[in-house]
Every structure is written in structure tokens, then in C-alpha cells.
Structure 1
Amino acid sequence: MEADPLKAVVLATLLALVLFSHDVSATGLIEGQASIIDGDTLEIHGTRIRLWGIDAPESSQLCRGNNSLLYRCGAKTANELDAFIATRPISCEPVSRDVYGRTVATCSVGGVDLGDWLVRGGLAFDWPRYSKGKYDAAQREADHAGRGVWAGSYVVPWAYRACINQGGRPEGCSDHSGTKP
């Protein structure tokens, strides 16, 4: 039986697409160049990934710096994460899915855990509800050094979201009492 050359080309092309464009390896890792969605969410090859165990200020959230002036701490976190990653490839190990259907994963770039890097820099918080304290030491270090949000005042992101969900405005929800958790 004679092989159809067109079928052979189509089959070879499909096989190449499956082998070379798949972003999830046999180990379940998601790897590739990331786009930053916000301070704790990124996207790789169309897959939304929520960083496990941390919570970063929301994009619209405001914090007070050590000079008592308001700044967009959520936007700052996203911008710093974007600059840190640059064009380097990200490797994410899925842990679960969240209520929004996003993959929840621990991710690293150049061997550096992004959750740890964000918390250690005072750009995000250890979220003990999920992390069981994995990033607690990094958070204590950032607080002691006065890095990021620890230099001024803030509202933890989960309290900010609760305020917004109850009809609050970003300005009012961002600056309750200026106390730390």
C-alpha cells in the first residue's frame, strides 16, 4: 500500500506541534516565559497561575510609604515582579486550582522561589491560611528590615478585598487604621 505524502506531512506536523509546543511536561511542570497579570498572578502559554501561599496587594490598592504618602503598592508589586523576571523562563509546579479556575502553583525563576522573593522584599504577604507559615520567616525578615509595605502602613490584601466586596472604595479600603496585622 502506497503512503499518501500529504497525510505523512500533516501527521508529522501534528506530531511536532504536540511534542514541541506543549507547556506541561510529564512531571506536571508549567514552564515558559510569563506575562505578569498582577503581583501574585501570572500567565504562561495561556495558563493563569496564582502563586501559592502568598497574597500581594491588589492592583488598585494603596499603601503609605515611610513618608506617609500614598502609593499604588499593588502596581508596584506587579512592576517589581515583572522587572525581576524580565525575559527569563519561569518554572511552576502546580499545587491545586482556585475558585476562579486558575492553577495555583509554586513558581521559580533562576532557582529563586517567586513567593519567597516577593514576601522577603515586602511586596507580598505570607498567607498562612494556605501556606501554613512557609513564608513566615521571610515576612518577619522583611518587617524587621522595613522593606516594601513594612516601611509604612497598609491593609492586608484579603481585608482590602473584603472591604471592596462590601461596596467600599479603593481609597477607603486601603487605609483603615495603618496598623500591621
Structure 2
Amino acid sequence: MGASILFKRPQGKKKAMQTTKVVLLFKAILLVLPILVLWYDAWSQFQPVAKLTLVGYAKVIDGDTLSVGGRVVRLAGIDAPEREQTCRRSSGRLYLCGEEASQALERLVSSGLAIVYRQFAGKHLAELGQLEGEARLSNKGLWQGTFEVPENWRRKKQKNRVS
């Protein structure tokens, strides 16, 4: 009996028209909502990358793609062979050009031009510390001479701005 009361048609022509309008509005919302969700999803993928800040350990996926903190990041303005891709040398011999591109990006990441930011290294501290140690022992990048720790340099620059 309770269900029949909930679905009882309103009395009168005016109330019937109001109910019809509400039903049509509800159907329109149900029809348009998925379209808006799809549009928003597509639109959000094309937001300017400059506004995006990712923090985390960077892992090389291939020659132009990293995974940072679990998010895939494509390097802007370049394209490189996929890791499994092969190419042909001028001699006609096939080689793993995608693997070479990936290794080149890995060498760039481990070139000694950065130090471990221990405060934010988290679970990757040991691995990053090992890379830093290898760069230091090989006198690569920053380790070929002397340098100021970037965090200290930023603090000094900020202090001079305020003064």
C-alpha cells in the first residue's frame, strides 16, 4: 500500500504537466551527465604541464617516458623509440635502438648532475644513495669539482631577496 502511494499520479492537468517536466529534466540530466564526465576527462588530460608538480622516484620506461611517483610522464617535445623497438644500422644490421634510447635516458638521470634530496627520498634513499655514490667515485657531473648543495643555495638566494 505504501508503494502505491509513492507512485500515485497527481490529480489535475497542471500537476501532471509538472511531473512530466520533472521526469524529462531527470532524463536529460541522465543523458547529458555521461557526456560531461567524458568531456571533463578529455579536457583534464590537456591541462598545461607547467602547473603539474610530481614528487617521487623517477624510473625510466623508455627513451622519452618516465614513471614518477607512479604517474607516467612523457618528456615534452621529443619522441624516442619504444624500449622493445629495433632499428637498422647503416651496415644493415638490426639493433635494439629502443633499449639504447632507454639506457641513454637512464645515464642522463644518473649523470651526477643531481644529489639525493634525503628529506624526500623516502623508500628510494638506498638506491638513490648508491647512484650518487657511483657518480661521486667516478667524478661525474657535480662531483668533478666543488658545488654548493642546491637546498643551501636556494636558502641563501631567498635570504638575499628578503634582505
Same fold by TM (over 0.5)? no
TM-score (structure 1 length as normaliser)? 0.40
Higher strand share: 1
If asked which structure has higher relative contact order (CA below 8 Å, sep 6+), I would say: 1
Higher helix share: 2
TM-score (structure 2 length as normaliser)? 0.43
Bigger radius of gyration = 2
